[in-house]
């Protein structure tokens, strides 16, 4: 606990502009002493009381509460026929979504009976995609989109890729339509923020395995339930980051505008939204990435897309095939990311450029549309332009190469990595876990409350109390403590990576360009792809679960830190440099402190992303809550327990979130 | 619900057609595929694909026969067991072709809701038990008797097992009494949950490759057994009713007679596909051949099914008679 608690303090401690005459090291040192005292008491208590009152629960045992959740689901299942709301409102949404997705599939990706191929073949889809990219983003994006789309065919996953694009676009469109207005409302009103934030927290931390079954009950098996599952997980980033972007528009700018007599609507349209645009696009990007990352999970309820080949490959431990289908997801992510970013920058750049000629652009657009129409015609008429299996097949050789390379790597290094796993687990993870999970529950609860109070004051302490009460109520205390251990360790590692790489990327455009595709890959490649190699390297263990969480959560945190560092005004940095500060001083005294809100956001998001990997961790030996969630999805009689574990994960997430946020806010006030 | 779905299809076709007005009709060399023979008879046939290779093998063989011999429009839906059973009632799943026990699901969907029914055994026998990699059985021949497990417990200690021997369990979907077994047999072991089938398979694969000790839960039929022939540890033999009280279990797992579960609507629809499903029966050996085609030779399930069907016309004719 202390490890994570000290982190925001350490990174936030230096005062932004060195204010002369008011050095205040005392409170920080005092906090440190108090924390050390708490730790001391805790260790003493653990020494004498370990093993008592740890509240364990057997694998197959259900508490009354969990059994009630089971009954609730059974009652819901029985009541769904003949319920007006479920049949017509939810059913209507479900039918509409399915019609939309299936219609798009017939048009673009799946054989539209009686045709043996879709209405528009691959050539036509590539041409249309490239044309849209040209219209929205420019020539470079046109090439990127064209090449990416062709690569889906060449890799051998054409229809699955286009299916995934369809599901993702459907979900992201809905997410943006709901998310941006909601973000604006949050930025404007504290009440809305107070109501919406916990809901977003739940959406982002509740493992999707928990709501897959209820979603299937509501929206039936297939595309509509897959879209809804994607939407639930992908919505929060765009809302949060929109609100964050609007809030960080400088107060002085807003004052200047309002003093000139602007109305609230004008302020929003003319000042806040344009100034926050860059951040909002980051939010849309994050939403897209989140949407893609849920693709494999959606495949578990027969959601169309690239998730299916990944899951299939996993069943036969076919690393090569999993890699190639995962690669297609990564390519898609990079394509969408770059194109949306370019689209947001284009309008501005054109307006500024003197050479911009609207007539030339119009000619380009019309010419492009004629070309696209010709390609569509060809793809409707000729099999070579319709069926992507006529493209050269790179997928198979690539899969074989990837499989061989992974085999070599794991064979060569599994001895070393096994030793690393053992060292880390025996040296750090096991003792820390014992401290949390083998101490009596009341001692750990008291420690957590005290830490929350010391670091953040009574508000996070109150949140902690509520969250701990929830964990006790759902009856999964010991499992929660094991999961908490893994989460804290993984988050600390994530933040360490985020500060190092984020600062590097924020300061160097070259590093940014080089690392960004890797980060996108880490964030979007389905964990199922690297689980098998990770298992070969580290065995089935909690350490493997931590590694998987870092691969997924690291990139998001790194990107946010990099964005924050880049947001630091260059004049401030120049001023510090000309005053003779060394690079290290510029980073630690100017850039990191001034990017503090980005750091908080990064640790916050890092934490939530780590928590969202708890279930994946459960698939590779992480045990505890993650395993319980999976078992609830897999066995009817454990549904209630799985849901309870999901609730416990949410409670852990909200508790950690509140403690870090308030700690940072308090440091900021000093 | 079936009509609901065709409405969705109709709406979808309308959207697709509407957005195509601009592109006009194609000429060229693409020809509409003819409606399959007898298609009117069979219609849609929705098969759940539960996530393991043996299941996939059975499902695709039945699906291939249904499509080629009966002209069914076969749809495969990848679903976990629990979700698949839920789909019986909503008309989205017609068949689960390989069911392992699942008394609780039978209770809910067959007894209580009546949306599903039993279509008899599929001929496969399921074996569940504790296994060690072959190198261990060679090196420690007496390890296959459970009474000697404590003697070797130290070998099985890992970073996850808290000082005791590790017994690795797999996917939470599968029936397991292992915690009770360990306690009731007085074994100095602790159950560690790998959490998924791939994790379990990879663990056994590494254990055999690197000659590291491993004791784990496994089952047959499973394609991996033909790559690494794991050796079963003998627990106290199963007798009728010895597993009646889950907390007091001290005997081996029973043999499972794997069966076929179908949607009630489907069974009463008069579809020829139902007769095929009811007649379908094959051996573990048959399934393992097809599973090997898929898992080890990297064949497409559809091609694997075709190959087996063409090699075994007599068996297939038996199902259709």
Picking from A117, A531, A532, the nearest residue to B30 by CB comes out as A117
* Inter-chain touch B90–A373, beta carbons under 8 Å: no
DSSP B156-185: G--TTTTTSEEEEE--TTS---HHHHHHHT
Q: Is residue B5 part of a domain?
A: no
Token output for A355? 């050479």
Q: Is residue B209 part of a domain?
A: yes
User: Shortest Cα distance from B318 to chain A (angstroms)?
Assistant: 31
Question: Which one of A124, A217, A383 has the shortest CB-CB distance to B29?
Answer: A383
Q: Are residues B203 and B170 in the same domain?
A: yes
In chain A, residues with a C-beta closer than 8 Å to the C-beta of B15 are 99-100, 103-104, 107
| Contact assessment for residue B190 and residue B166, using Cβ atoms and an 8 Å cutoff | yes
Q: Which residues of A touch B198 (CB under 8 A)?
A: 314-315, 317, 531-532, 535, 619
Q: What CA–CA distance (Å, rounded) separates A315 from A317?
A: 6
Give, in order, the Cα–Cα distances in Å from A396 to each of A304, A515, B250: 22, 27, 48
CATH for B172: 3.40.190.100
Is the Cβ pair A535, B203 closer than 8 Å?
A: yes
CB contact under 8 A, A213 and B82: yes
Tell me which chain A residues have a C-beta less than 8 angstroms from the C-beta of B95. none
CATH of A169-305, one of 1.10.132.20, 1.10.1060.10, 1.10.3720.10, 3.40.309.10: 1.10.3720.10
- Which residues on B lie below 8 Å from A630 (Cβ)? 172, 195-196
pTM of the predicted protein model: 0.83
Nearest CA in chain A to B246: A60
Chains A and B: how many Cβ contacts under 8 Å? 232
- Of A265-279, B78-92, B294-308, minimum mean pLDDT range: A265-279
Closest-CA residue to A549 (of A606, A497, A595): A606
CB contact under 8 A, A425 and B159: yes
CA atoms of A283 and A98, how far apart (whole Å): 27
CB-based contact B16 A539, cutoff 8 Å: no
In a mutagenesis test of the B interface, which of A112, A539, A617 is the best target, namely the one with the most B β-carbons within 10 Å?
Answer: A539
**Which of B256, B282, B308 is the C-terminal boundary of a domain?**
B256
Q: Sort out which chain B residues have CB atoms less than 8 A from A426's CB and list them.
A: 159
Same domain, B303 and B231: no
What the block records as the tokens of B131 is 């296994």
A590 alpha-carbon distance from chain centroid? 28
Q: Which residues of A touch B82 (CB under 8 A)?
A: 213, 633-636
Shortest CB distance from B53 goes to which of A308, A315, A540?
A315
Compare all CA atoms of chain A with the CA of B178 and give the residue at the minimum distance.
Answer: A59
Q: Report the domain count for chain B.
A: 2
Residues B199 and B169 in one domain: yes
Q: Of B207, B240, B256, which closes a domain?
A: B256
Name the residue range of residue B271's domain.
Answer: 38-124+257-320
Domain ranges across chain A: 169-305
pLDDT given for residue A195 in this prediction? 92
Hey, are the CB atoms on B194 and A213 less than 8 Å from each other? no
pLDDT of A144: 93
Tell if the CB–CB gap between B195 and A98 is shorter than 8 Å. no
Nearest neighbour of B80 by CB, restricted to A59, A107, A634: A634
| Pairwise CB contact (< 8 Å): B195 & A316 | no
- Cβ contact A115–B24 (<8 Å): no
With respect to residue B94, please indicate whether it lies within any of the assigned structural domains: yes
Residues B251 and B161 in one domain: yes
- Domain-located, residue B4: no
Mutate which: B23, B44, B51, B96, vs A, most A CBs within 10 A: B23
| Same domain, residue pair B286 and B311 | yes
Contacts of A125 in chain B (CB under 8 A): none
- In this complex, which of A378, A543, A618 lies closest to B195 when CB atoms are compared? A618
Say whether both B158 and B218 belong to one domain.
yes
Contacts of B31 in chain A (CB under 8 A): 116
Residues B205 and B118 in one domain: no
| Phi, psi dihedrals of residue A52, rounded to the nearest 5° | -100, 145
In tens, the pLDDT along A30-78 reads 788 888 898 898 888 888 888 877 787 777 778 888 888 888 887 877 7
Query: Does B287 score more than 80 pLDDT?
Result: yes
Give backbone dihedrals phi and psi of B233, rounded to 5 degrees, phi first.
-90, 130
Burial of B144 (0-12, 13-18, 19+ CB in 10 A): middle
Mutate to test the interface with A, among B48, B160, B291 (most CBs of A within 10 A): B160
Angstrom CA distances, A345 to A29, A280, A341, A512, B281, stand at: 46, 13, 6, 17, 62
Chain A residues with CB-CB distance to B33 below 8 A: 113-116
CATH number at residue B275: 3.40.190.10
Cβ neighbours of residue B183 under 8 Å, at least 6 residues apart? none
For residues B111 and B133, membership in a common domain is answered with no
Please tell me whether residues B237 and B152 are part of one structural domain.
yes
Q: Mutating which of B9, B52, B202 best tests the A interface, going by the most A Cβ atoms within 10 A?
A: B202
Q: Rounded CA gap, B193 and B181, in Å? A: 15
Residue B243 sits in the same domain as residue B263: no
Q: What DSSP state is assigned to residue B145?
A: B
The interface pTM score, or ipTM, of the predicted complex is 0.80
Are the Cβ atoms of B78 and A311 closer than 8 angstroms? yes
Q: How far is CA A563 from CA A284, A387, A507, A509, A601, in A?
A: 14, 42, 10, 12, 11
pLDDT value at position B137? 92
Closest residue in B to A110 (Cα–Cα): B16
**Residue B33: which pLDDT band, with cuts at 50, 70 and 90?**
low
Task: Mark which of B237, B256, B275 sits at the end of a domain.
Answer: B256
- Tell me what pLDDT residue A19 has: 40
Q: How sure is the predictor about B6, in pLDDT bands with cuts at 50, 70 and 90?
A: very low
Phi-psi region of B221 (alpha: psi -120 to 50; beta: other; left: phi over 0): beta
Nearest Cα to Cα of residue A640 among A472, A484, A474, A471:
A474
Nearest CB partner across the interface for A302, out of B30, B78, B199:
B78
For chain A, residues with pLDDT lower than 70 are: 1-29, 80-82, 113, 250-252, 347-357, 667-670
Q: Are residues B315 and B274 in the same domain?
A: yes
Contact A103 B14 (CB under 8 A): yes
Taking alpha carbons only, the member of B76, B98, B56 closest to residue B292 is B56
Alpha-carbon distance of A502 to A552, in angstroms, equals 15
Q: Are B179 and B132 in the same domain?
A: yes
Instruction: Report CB contact under 8 Å: B192, A623.
Output: yes
Do A626 and B209 make contact, defined as CB atoms within 8 angstroms? no
């Amino acid at each position: 606990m202390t490890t994570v608690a000290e982190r925001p303090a350490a990174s936030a401690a230096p005062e932004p502009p060195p204010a002369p005459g008011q050095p205040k090291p005392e409170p920080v040192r005092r906090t440190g002493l108090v924390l050390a005292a708490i730790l001391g008491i805790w260790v003493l208590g653990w020494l004498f009381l370990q093993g008592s009152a740890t509240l364990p629960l057997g694998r197959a045992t259900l508490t009354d509460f969990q059994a009630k959740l089971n009954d609730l689901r059974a009652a819901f299942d029985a009541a769904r026929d003949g319920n007006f709301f479920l049949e017509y409102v939810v059913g209507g949404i479900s039918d509409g979504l399915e019609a939309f997705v299936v219609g798009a599939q017939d048009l673009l990706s799946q054989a539209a009976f009686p045709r043996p191929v879709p209405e528009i073949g691959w050539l036509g889809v590539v041409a249309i995609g490239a044309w849209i990219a040209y219209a929205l983003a420019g020539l470079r994006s046109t090439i990127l989109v064209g090449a990416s789309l062709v690569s889906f065919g060449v890799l051998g996953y054409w229809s699955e890729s286009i299916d995934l694009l369809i599901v993702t676009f459907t979900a992201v469109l809905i997410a943006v339509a709901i998310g941006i207005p909601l973000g604006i409302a949050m930025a404007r009103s504290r009440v809305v923020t107070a109501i919406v934030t916990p809901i977003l927290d739940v959406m982002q931390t509740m493992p999707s395995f928990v709501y897959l079954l209820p979603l299937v009950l509501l929206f039936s098996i297939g595309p509509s339930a897959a879209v809804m599952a994607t939407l639930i997980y992908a919505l929060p980033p765009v809302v949060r980051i929109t609100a964050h972007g609007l809030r960080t528009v400088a107060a002085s700018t807003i004052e200047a505008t309002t003093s000139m007599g602007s109305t609230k609507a004008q302020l929003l349209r003319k000042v806040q939204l344009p100034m926050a645009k860059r951040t909002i696009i980051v939010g849309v990007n994050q939403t897209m990435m989140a949407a893609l990352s849920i693709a494999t999970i959606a495949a578990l309820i027969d959601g169309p897309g690239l998730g299916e080949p990944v899951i299939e490959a996993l069943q036969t431990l076919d690393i090569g095939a999993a890699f190639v289908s995962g690669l297609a997801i990564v390519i898609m992510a990079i394509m969408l990311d770059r194109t949306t970013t370019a689209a947001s920058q284009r309008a501005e750049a054109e307006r500024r450029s003197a050479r911009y000629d609207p007539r030339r652009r119009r000619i380009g657009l019309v010419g492009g549309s004629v070309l696209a129409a010709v390609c569509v015609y060809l793809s409707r008429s000729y099999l070579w332009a319709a069926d992507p299996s006529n493209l050269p097949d790179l997928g198979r050789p690539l899969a074989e190469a990837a499989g061989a390379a992974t085999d070599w790597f794991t064979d060569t290094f599994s001895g070393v990595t096994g030793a690393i796993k053992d060292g880390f687990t025996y040296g750090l993870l096991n003792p820390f876990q014992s401290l949390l999970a083998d101490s009596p529950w009341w001692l750990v609860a008291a420690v957590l409350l005290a830490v929350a109070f010391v670091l953040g004051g009574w508000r996070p302490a109150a949140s902690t109390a509520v969250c701990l009460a929830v964990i006790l109520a759902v009856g999964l205390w010991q499992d929660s403590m094991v999961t908490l251990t893994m989460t804290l360790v993984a988050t600390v590692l994530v933040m360490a990576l985020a500060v190092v790489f984020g600062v590097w990327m924020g300061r160097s455009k070259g590093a940014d360009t080089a690392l960004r595709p890797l980060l996108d890959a880490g964030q979007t490649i389905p964990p199922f792809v690297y689980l098998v190699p990770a298992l070969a390297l580290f065995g089935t263990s909690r350490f493997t679960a931590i590694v998987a969480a870092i691969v997924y959560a690291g990139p998001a945190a790194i990107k946010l830190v990099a964005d924050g560092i880049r947001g630091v005004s260059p004049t401030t940095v120049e001023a510090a440099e000309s005053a003779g500060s060394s690079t290290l001083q510029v980073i630690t005294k100017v850039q990191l402190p001034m990017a503090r809100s980005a750091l908080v956001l990064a640790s916050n998001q890092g934490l939530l992303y780590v928590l969202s990997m708890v279930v994946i961790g459960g698939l590779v030996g992480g045990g505890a809550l993650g395993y319980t969630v999976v078992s609830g999805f897999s066995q009817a009689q454990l549904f209630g327990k799985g849901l309870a574990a999901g609730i416990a994960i949410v409670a852990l997430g909200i508790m950690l979130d509140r403690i870090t946020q308030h700690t940072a806010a308090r440091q900021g006030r000093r | 619900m079936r009509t609901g779905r065709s409405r969705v299809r109709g709406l979808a076709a309308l959207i697709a057609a509407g957005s195509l007005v601009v592109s006009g009709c194609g000429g060229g060399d693409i020809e509409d595929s003819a409606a399959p023979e007898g298609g009117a008879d069979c219609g849609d046939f929705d098969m759940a694909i539960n996530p393991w290779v043996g299941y996939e093998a059975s499902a695709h063989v039945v699906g291939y026969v249904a499509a080629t011999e009966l002209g069914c429009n076969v749809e495969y839906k990848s679903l976990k067991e629990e979700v698949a059973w839920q789909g019986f009632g909503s008309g989205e799943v017609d068949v689960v072709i390989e069911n392992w026990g699942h008394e609780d699901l039978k209770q809910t969907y067959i007894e209580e809701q009546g949306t599903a029914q039993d279509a008899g055994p599929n001929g496969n026998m399921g074996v569940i038990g504790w296994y060690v990699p072959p190198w261990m059985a060679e090196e420690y021949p007496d390890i296959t008797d459970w009474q000697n497990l404590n003697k070797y417990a130290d070998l099985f200690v890992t970073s996850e097992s808290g000082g005791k021997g590790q017994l690795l369990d797999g996917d939470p979907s599968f029936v397991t009494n292992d915690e009770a077994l360990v306690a009731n047999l007085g074994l100095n072991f602790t159950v560690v949950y790998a959490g998924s089938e791939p994790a379990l398979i990879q663990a056994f694969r590494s254990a055999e490759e690197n000659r590291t000790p491993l004791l784990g839960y496994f089952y047959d039929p499973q394609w991996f057994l033909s790559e690494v022939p794991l050796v079963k540890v003998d627990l106290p033999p199963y007798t009728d009713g010895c597993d009646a009280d889950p907390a007091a279990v001290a005997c081996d797992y029973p043999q499972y007679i794997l069966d076929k579960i179908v949607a009630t609507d489907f069974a009463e629809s008069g579809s020829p596909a139902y007769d095929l499903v009811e007649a379908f029966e094959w051996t573990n050996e048959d399934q393992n051949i097809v599973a090997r085609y898929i898992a080890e030779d990297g064949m497409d399930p559809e091609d694997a099914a075709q190959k087996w069907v063409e090699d075994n016309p007599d068996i297939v004719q038996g199902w259709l008679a």
